Amino acid sequence: MEITKGSKVFITGAGSGIGRSTALVMADLGCRLFLTDLNGKGLEETAAMVRKSGGEVCLTRVLDVADYAAIKSFADEIHKSYGPLEILMNIAGIALFALVEDMTHEHWKKVINIDLWGPIHAIECFLPEMIRAKKGHLVNVASLAGLIGLPWHSAYSASKAGLVRLSEVLRVDLKQHHIGVTVVCPGAVETPLKNTVEILGLDMSREDVQEIKKRFSRHAISPEKVAGQIIRAIQKNKFLVITPRDVHFLYICKHHFRPIFNYVINYLSNLMNSGRYPERPKT
Ligand SMILES: NC(=O)c1ccc[n+]([C@@H]2O[C@H](COP(=O)([O-])OP(=O)(O)OC[C@H]3O[C@@H](n4cnc5c(N)ncnc54)[C@H](O)[C@@H]3O)[C@@H](O)[C@H]2O)c1
């Protein structure tokens, strides 16, 4: 869809990383922003950055996307004063890397509540009004882990794969209402997430674990680049965005060059497992 001046855009996770970068680009395009995050300080910083650059922030709200009532109340307030959104962006998320034997029930619930239920809550609260208006675009930021079963990503992959499938269904179901859908599946993006990711069962001071973090940063792209890709995907009504290029290669290997894919996944698995069970032989 064409992103016109004055378009109303709702963004979760706007206080940091990809959400903040996307808010800044949307503001540059003349959009009116409705920004949320659990982190009030980050949210206010983003709003200040947008306003300083001449952009328009209509409302901000500190809320937890896992809390349906909080999203519903903010959605009602937006609809009452401003009408339906043009663009709905589910960007907020958390990451947890762990083996199942190290996870409690609370770990599972936390990841799935934020990474899968969070987007569902926003979809429930905002899409009916967009459908009535018969226009708009939905962006869901999932992950490469939603396309590929990455080692140590069980709860995260389950949530993000659910979000990818949900996006596929909505892509078809919303077409009749002239609403486009984009699902974004990044590999590594250089954002504060790399510091907030919860990693269970690994001694973070170990050299090989630090090496994994360094490799992540070497492959990572900037959140500004991802924001640009999101904007182009909306404008071209492109469904799937996989970024950066090397993770796209892995996705292609999964479907067409299975031995290469298996080799990479096994390599990653051994790398992580050796930090958790150093005494065990590689598989
Ligand atoms: N950074 C990466 O390498 C990477 C890779 C793949 C996918 N992603 C996805 O991109 C999205 C954005 O992540 P990012 O890299 O910009 O990370 P980030 O940590 O910089 O931003 C995530 C934002 O979400 C907010 N948030 C977390 N829990 C929340 C909750 N319960 N309610 C409301 N807000 C909450 C955080 O406060 C933060 O501001 C996430 O969904 C993440 O899973 C990131």
Per-residue model confidence as pLDDT tens digits over 78-130 = 999 999 999 999 999 999 999 999 999 999 999 999 999 999 999 999 999 99
With 80 as the cut, is the pLDDT of residue 281 above it?
no
Range scoring the smallest mean pLDDT among 45-54, 137-146, 186-195: 186-195
146 lines ligand 1 (CB under 6 A): no
**Separation of 55 CA from ligand 1 center, angstroms?**
23
68, 82, 156, 263: the catalytic one is 156
In the predicted model, what is the mean pLDDT of residues 202-231? 86
Per-residue model confidence as pLDDT tens digits over 174-184 = 999 999 999 99
Structural domains in the chain plus CATH codes = 8-249 (3.40.50.720)
Query: Which is the closest atom of ligand 1 to the Cα of 196?
Result: 19
pLDDT of residue 11: 98
**Separation of 93 CA from ligand 1 center, angstroms?**
4
104 lines ligand 1 (CB under 6 A): no
What is the pLDDT confidence band of residue 207, given thresholds at 50, 70 and 90?
Answer: confident
92 lines ligand 1 (CB under 6 A): yes
Interatomic CA distance for residues 248 and 254, integer angstroms:
10
119 lines ligand 1 (CB under 6 A): no
Query: Which is the closest atom of ligand 1 to the Cα of 113?
Result: 31
Examine the residue annotation and report whether 156 is marked as an active-site residue of this protein: yes
* CA-nearest residue, atom 19 of ligand 1: 193
Per-residue model confidence as pLDDT tens digits over 14-71 = 999 999 999 999 999 999 999 999 999 999 999 999 999 999 999 999 999 999 999 9
143 lines ligand 1 (CB under 6 A): yes
141 lines ligand 1 (CB under 6 A): yes
Interatomic CA distance for residues 274 and 169, integer angstroms:
39
What is the pLDDT confidence band of residue 282, given thresholds at 50, 70 and 90?
Answer: confident
pLDDT of residue 274: 84
Helices 154-173, 118-133: axis angle to 10 degrees equals: 10
Interatomic CA distance for residues 159 and 111, integer angstroms:
7
In the predicted model, what is the mean pLDDT of residues 128-133? 98
**Separation of 13 CA from ligand 1 center, angstroms?**
6
Q: In DSSP terms, which residues pair with 179 in a beta bridge?
A: 136
Give every strand in the sheet of 87-90, ordered side by side.
Answer: 56-62, 32-37, 8-11, 87-90, 136-141, 179-186, 240-243
Cα three-residue angle 171-162-181, rounded to 5 degrees: 20
In the predicted model, what is the mean pLDDT of residues 241-265? 93
What is the pLDDT confidence band of residue 246, given thresholds at 50, 70 and 90?
Answer: confident
Interatomic CA distance for residues 236 and 238, integer angstroms:
5
**Separation of 30 CA from ligand 1 center, angstroms?**
24
30 lines ligand 1 (CB under 6 A): no
pLDDT of residue 279: 80
In the predicted model, what is the mean pLDDT of residues 158-184? 98
Q: What percent of the chain has pLDDT over 90?
A: 85
Q: Is the dihedral of CA 19, 21, 25, 31 positive or negative?
A: positive
Query: Which is the closest atom of ligand 1 to the Cα of 20?
Result: 16
16 lines ligand 1 (CB under 6 A): yes
Closest to 189 (Cα-Cα) out of 164, 238, 224, 151: 224
- Chain mean pLDDT for the chain: 95
DSSP symbols for 1-17: ----TT-EEEESSTTSH
DSSP symbols for 198-213: EE-S--TTSHHHHHHH
Query: Which is the closest atom of ligand 1 to the Cα of 184?
Result: 7
Q: Is the dihedral of CA 99, 162, 25, 15 positive or negative?
A: negative
